[in-house]
Amino acid sequence: MVLTIEKWELGARMCSELRRTGFTVAAVCPTFHMLRRVKTADETFAFSRLMPHLTLARAMRRWQPAFVICVDDVAVRIVQALHHRLARSPLKMAKSLVALIERSLGDPRWYGLTEKSAIMSIAPALGIRCPRSVEIADRAALSGELAAADFPVVLKLDRTTGGAGVRIARTREGAWTAYLELDAMRRKALRMGRLRSAGSRRGDSKLAAKPRVTIQQYLEGRPASRAVLCWQGAVIGGLSVEATEVSREGGPATVVRMINHPEMEAAARSLSARFGLSGFCGYDFVIDSGGRAFLLEVNPRITPTCHLNWRVDLIGLLFSQITGRSGRARQAYDVDEAIALFPHEWLRNPASPHLASCSHDVPWHEPAFVRTCLAMRGAGESSWRSAVHTAWMRAGASRGREYLPKSDE
């Protein structure tokens, strides 16, 4: 069962690749999601933001899945919060759903501990390189940090994804603007219940903790990531890539090439074991000029390279782990070739030279999916949703400037 809340195409793509491998797939998604149109899942269940836990629990009981896959961070938090509720329920059916979630996500003791701010305090104890990161509690704390900061700096908001909560500031004024944008995003999202841990008001403090803004050391280097499949803390297989092109500074990769980086592999193994992870997981790094890998964040969900059959087939490994049999073979890519991720590189620049020189992971076997993705460019940044969001963010930051310390304006 695939749970996808955000309007990403990755959920529909993952359903298609899971079916090609041999799985029977159900998807739980909102009514506006593209999965409703492209129909890459065998069955689709409606997700309600008003009753997130109830709709998900009902779908699980009806479908009886062997495994649950989360596509985005909102989905992860909803499943974690559902586990927290069910673990305290006296109902008999709750036990089977608790076991399903723990089999799919791993040890519940780590739930809530892979936020951008929390991971920076855990990873160094395991010998993993990380950029210096400090939580910003209020404007006074930010003012103190900026007084001694070496620019540029990175500001991050917990519980955001796809680079939406990341800002790179090259000046003090830019840092203040970034902080006000992120703080406005945090406060509005909390009111809407999007960044809150999916209704865990009376629950575990790790799940109920408010998202935090942190300021982080900026590292010059090449973005990289490692996608892994875990089972009860053990890494079954993994794929390391370096970004050749990104959608925007601090944003997701659009063109990648495979690399072999032992330090990234070791970091992924250590953290997966530390958190007792199960399922798909992505680790984001930056590789400096000396070849050293610095961990940036952990994503306990699928990431855009998880579906690639590139030296290792993570979906095939999951099929074997669950069924004890080999799944059907999918398209394999040559280790030495770069891949333009569809539709992201095309959306970034339809005239990109990478589109002529790289391989493409276009799922030609899903024409409805391809057509829907191509239509995304027409909606893109000109859509009313994007326009309203951008206007709101700018207005929120502008209103907040009146509260800035005069010396920092």
pLDDT score for 117? 63
pLDDT score for 133? 86
pLDDT in tens, 76-113: 999 999 999 999 998 888 999 999 999 999 999 988 77
The backbone torsions φ and ψ at residue 114, rounded to the nearest 5 degrees and listed phi first, read -105, 20
pLDDT in tens, 233-275: 999 999 999 999 999 887 889 999 999 999 999 999 999 999 9
- Say if residues 131 and 294 touch (Cβ distance below 8 Å): yes
pLDDT score for 127? 95
pLDDT score for 114? 67
pLDDT score for 400? 44
- Within the chain, what is the greatest distance between any pair of CA atoms? 66
Domains along the chain? Answer: 2-105 (3.40.50.20), 132-217 (3.30.1490.20), 222-365 (3.30.470.20)
- Say if residues 178 and 155 touch (Cβ distance below 8 Å): yes
pLDDT in tens, 203-237: 454 554 567 888 988 999 999 999 999 999 999 99
- Tally of CB atoms within 10 A around 146: 21
First vs last C-alpha separation in the chain? 50
Distance of CA 77 to the CA centre of its chain: 11
d(CA 293, CA 149): 22
- Tally of CB atoms within 10 A around 4: 29
Rg (CA), the chain: 21
Residue by residue, what is the 3-state secondary structure of 328-393? CCCCECCCCCEEECCCHHHHHCCCCCHHHHCEECCCCCCHHHHHHHHHHHHHCCCCHHHHHHHHHH
- Report DSSP letters for 39-77, one per residue: --SSEEEE--SSSHHHHHHHHHHHH--S--EE-SHHHHH
pTM (2 decimals)? Answer: 0.84
Could you say which residues of the chain have pLDDT below 50?
194-203, 205, 208, 380-409
How does the average pLDDT of the chain come out, rounded? 86
- Say if residues 81 and 53 touch (Cβ distance below 8 Å): yes
pLDDT score for 115? 67
Pairing of strands 26-29, 43-46: parallel
DSSP assigned state of 409: -
Cis peptide before 152 (omega within 30 of 0): yes
pLDDT score for 7? 84
- Tally of CB atoms within 10 A around 40: 25
pLDDT score for 92? 84
Asked whether the CA dihedral 317, 319, 324, 329 is positive or negative, the reply is negative
pLDDT score for 8? 87
Helix, strand or coil for residue 328?
A: coil
pLDDT score for 209? 56
pLDDT score for 213? 87
Tokens of 138: 């209020």
